[in-house]
Structure 1
Amino acid sequence: MFFKKPRKNLGFIILSAVFGFMLAIQFQSIKEPVERDTRDMWQLRDDLKKEQETQSNLLTEIRKYDQILETYKTQQNKNPETALERTLGDLKKEAGQTDVKGEGITITIDTLFKDELPGQEIKPISPELLRRLINELNSYDADYISVAGRRVVNTTVIRDINGITKMDGYSLREYPIEIKVISKNAAKLHNRMKASSTDENFAIDNLSLKISDTQKNITIPAYDEEIRTNYLHPLNMDKGGMK
């Protein structure tokens, strides 16, 4: 009995570290530049509603990981290796480190007018416009998103570099841009996007937004870059850590 206990504790410590890693990722958001707040009352109310939905989603995620941890505690006496392996697989999926397939929609961003208008050049999609679209999809219960074949995760950075919009360092300068979205309730996501006025914001920038019907088998690739964990540090076992 004295030789098995450290093995169980080690598995529990590893799982706890993974949970800390996942929660840190969940609480990081897509970076946006500081802007002067010019929103009116209705915009503030709409933004407050979205923030409340985000908070609710985060609480749901925390409860989910608590349930996973409780399940692991229950199963570790029976087969700790299998329980740990299954949990790690689920967490990798949530972190975007595996390909995912499911029901969803495809959104195509293209130029509204194929030829340049007099005095108006065709510009890349702006980082702000793309971030707003991704945030809107997340508020409509999108589970997984890819842009131009690249996975969007919670640490994804979208910004302008020398006049070119880049997502995690990859340029988004060519149209059309295809966005794939998987959701547990694809029909609801489709209906809400169809009823949205987001396409009007794209039209202002001479861009069109086409939303497909729901599709059964959408594949979104895994995130192929290193996930940044700048705020994570090894557990100090001498200062209040688990023993």
Structure 2
Amino acid sequence: MKKNLKGVSFSILTMIFGLMLAVQFQSIQEPQVRDTRDMWQLREALKTEQMMQSELLLEIRKYEELIDTYENDESQSAEKTLKETVEELKKEAGLTEVTGEGITITISPLFEESLTQTETNSVAPDLLKRLLNELNSYGAESISIDGRRVVNTTVIRDINGKTKIDGYSLHSFPLEIKVIGEDAEKLFSRLNGSTVMDTFAVDNLRLSISEPKGNMTIPPYDDVIRVQNMKPFEKGENS
């Protein structure tokens, strides 16, 4: 609609300029005709023409300001849309703090070391990855492990016998995992009904799942996200 209004405004400006040129052209083309009007009549005619010219100039200025307003509105609208898009992308990438309804999962040893004769001091990376896959399939939107945000580029692996997330060692038990989802109740019930607890129990680990609660906060990802096979777009390059 703005483009149509700008087109109409431009057409009106063109008509106004055409009218002014026509008036000037006529006055140039007919100088030979003797004007028989007296001084007062000439002054009144001049005054009328000056008023018409002033009105034309005012109209021109009004439409120029109108066009500028449309252009500014379009620029501000584009800027606002761009900012909203960037914020949404940052949210999806895990770069912003998230608050919402969610659950807390606590991982701790199932039996004491004195009973099993085996020391349980960490969670195997494969177990954590399986749990994350389960959570994502149940509608998890934001997850943190031991206070560290999980994003698409997060790496969980064993380094020298220690499970690390993005290079950071996980703290000793109990290990806390926070999960925010669109439907925390559904997330809670589906996780309780899954076999993932049995899988953890094989490694002498217990999963304790809290009831859903609101106003849970998950911190943003605070490390550098490395993106491969990409370069800055330069003006003039084909997309």
- The TM-score range, normalised by the shorter chain, is 0.5 to 0.7
Shift of 1:126: 0.2
Whether the 8 Å CA contact 2:121–2:172 is kept in 1: the answer is no
Match of 1:203 in 2: 201
How far the C-alpha of 1:231 sits from its partner, in A, is: 2.4
**Aligned twin of 1:144:** 142
Match runs of 1:1-20 below 5 Å? none
CA 1:76/1:206 → structure 2, altered by over 3 Å: closer, same or farther?
farther
Are residues 166 and 76 of structure 1, via their aligned partners in 2, closer, same or farther at CA, if it must alter by over 3 Å?
farther
Task: Within 5 Å, give how 1:180-199 maps onto structure 2.
Answer: 180-199=178-197
What are the within-5 Å matches in structure 2 for residues 31-42 of structure 1? none
Unaligned runs of 5+ in 1: 1-74
Matches within 5 A, 1:219-234: 219-234=217-232
Give the Å deviation of 1:150.
0.6
SS at 1:180 equivalent: strand
- Contact 2:103-2:212 within 8 A present in 1 as well: yes
Question: Does the 8 Å CA contact 1:76/1:83 hold for their aligned counterparts?
Answer: no
2-side partners of 1:133 and 1:144: how far apart? 14
Deviation at 1:117, TM superposition (A): 3.5
| Letter in structure 2 aligned against 1:206 | N
For 1:82, which of 67, 80, 84 is the aligned residue? Answer: 80
More helix by share: 2
Contact 1:147 1:178 in 2 (8 A): yes
Secondary structure class of the residue paired with 1:125:
coil
SS in 2 for 1:79: helix
Match of 1:161 among 159, 162, 165: 159
Residues in 2 aligned to 1:118 and 1:179: alpha-carbon distance in whole angstroms: 25
Residue 217 of structure 1 aligns with an amino acid whose one-letter code is: N
1:191 & 1:231 partners in 2: Cα distance?
Answer: 41
Please give the alpha-carbon distance, in whole angstroms, between the structure 2 residues aligned to 1:76 and 1:153.
35
TM-score, length basis structure 1: 0.65
Residues 146, 171 of structure 2: 8 Å contact kept: no
- Equivalent residue for 2:131, pick from 122, 130, 133: 133
Instruction: Compute the displacement of 1:123 (Å).
Output: 3.3
Letter of the structure 2 residue corresponding to residue 166 of structure 1: K
TM-score, reference length from structure 2: 0.66
Question: Unaligned regions of 5+ residues in structure 2, if any?
Answer: 1-72
Q: CA deviation at 1:204?
A: 0.7
Query: Matched residues in 1 for 2:103 and 2:196: separation?
Result: 16
